[in-house]
Amino acid sequence: MKDKFQRFMAGRYGVDELGKYSLYLTIALLIIGLFVRSRFLNGITFILVLVLYFRMFSKNYTQRRKENEIFLKYKNQAVRFFNKEKQMTQDRVKFHIYTCPSCGQKIRIPRGKGKIAITCPKCKTEFIKKS
């Protein structure tokens, strides 16, 4: 049986990152569907399962690879955004973040130093703020 399946899958695309995330989404929708009785939700879940199988058994490698690259591009943008926000949140504990009044550059200043003169590294404008 295992050999038959391996021969069947030879030359087919298989599972990639987009397929994995689609599978997770399908499982989440199925679980939500247990509690919320909705034909629309069931229909979306069914269509998603069909798309999953279509992509997995497809022999069109180039098109599936393009789809996966587009997905990864947007996924990486989202991950970078949330990592940046997480880092900024952690930095606010140790630093004040000021904006230069002339050019708008964000400047990180350590907390607890009293009133200090801040020089913008971009435009060299000097301004005084309390840290």
3-state secondary structure 43-92: HHHHHHHHHHHHHHHCCCHHHHHHHHHHHHHHHHHHHHHHHHHHHHHHHH
**Strand segments (E) across the chain:** 95-99, 106-110, 115-119, 126-130
- The structure's pTM equals 0.66
Sole residue written with tokens 């058994």: 57
HSE (side-chain half, CA atoms, 13 Å) at 32: 13
The tens place of each residue's pLDDT in the chain, 131 residues long, gives 888 877 877 777 888 899 999 999 999 999 999 999 889 999 999 999 999 999 988 888 889 999 999 999 999 999 999 999 999 888 888 898 889 988 888 888 888 888 889 899 889 889 888 87
